Amino acid sequence: MSRVPARRRVPLRLLASAAASCAALTVTAATAVAPRAAAEDSRPYTETYRPQFHFSPAKNWMNDPNGLVWFQGEYHLFYQYNPSGNTWGDMSWGHAVSKDLVHWQELPLALPHDDEEMVFSGSAVVDRDNTTGFGTRENPAMVAVYTSHSKDGGKQAQSLAYSTDRGRTWTKYSGNPVLDIGSKEFRDPKVQWYAPTRSWLMTVSLSTEHKVRFYSSKDLKSWTHLSDFGPQNAVGGVWECPDLFPLPVDGDPRRVKWVLVVNINPGGIAGGSGAQYFVGDFDGKRFTPDDDGSYTPPPGMVVQDFEGADYGTWQATGTAFGDGPVPAPAPGTSGTSGVEGRGFVDSFHSGDVETGTLTSPPFTVDSPYLNFKVAGGRHPHVPGSVIGESPTPPGQVLADFEQDTYGSWTPTGTAFGDGPASGTLPGQNPVTGQDGAGLVNSFLDGDATTGTLASPEFTLDTKYLNFLIGGGRHPSGSDAPTAVRLVVDGKTVRSATGSDSEELNWASWDVGDLAGRTAHIEVVDQNTGGWGHILLDQVMLSDTPARPRSTETAVNLLIDGEVVRSETGTDSGSLDWASFDLRAHQGKRAVVQIVDMNRGGWGHILADHFVAADQPAVPSVRRASWVDHGKDYYAAVSWENAPDGRRRMIGWMNNWQYGNGIPTSPWRSAQSIPREMALRTVDGRLRLTQQPVSTVESLYGGVPIEVRDVNIAEGSAPLAEGRADGKALDIRATFSPGDAERFGFTVRTGEGQQTVIGYDAKAQELYVDRTRSGAVDFHDDFPGIQRAPLTARNGKVELRILVDWSSVEVFGGDGETVITDQIFPGPDSDGIRLFAEGGPARLDSAEVWQVRSYRD
Q: How far is CA 662 from CA 1, 4, 389, 475, 789, in A?
A: 17, 16, 33, 9, 28
Q: Quick check: 482 and 498 in contact, CB under 8 A?
A: yes
Q: Quick check: 634 and 268 in contact, CB under 8 A?
A: yes
Q: Quick check: 745 and 725 in contact, CB under 8 A?
A: no
Q: Which of 64, 400, 447, 821 is catalytic?
A: 64
Q: Quick check: 337 and 536 in contact, CB under 8 A?
A: no
Say how far apart CA 298 and CA 611 lie, in whole Å: 9
DSSP state of 796: B
- Going by C-alpha positions, the residue among 27, 8, 21 that lies closest to residue 570 is 8
Q: Quick check: 633 and 672 in contact, CB under 8 A?
A: yes
Contacts of 578 (CB under 8 A, 6+ apart): 371, 372, 373, 374, 555, 567, 617, 619
Classify 386 as helix, strand or coil. strand
DSSP state of 622: H
Say how far apart CA 411 and CA 523 lie, in whole Å: 9
Say how far apart CA 326 and CA 376 lie, in whole Å: 15
Active site residue 64: yes
Say how far apart CA 676 and CA 693 lie, in whole Å: 6
Q: Quick check: 518 and 488 in contact, CB under 8 A?
A: yes
Q: Is 183 left (phi over 0), alpha (psi -120 to 50) or beta?
A: beta
Strand partners, 105: 97
Write the DSSP assignment of 395-453 as a string of letters.
SEEEE---SSS-TT-EEEESSS-SS-B-SPPTTPPPPB--SSS-BEE--TTGGG--EEE
Which residues are catalytic, by number? 64
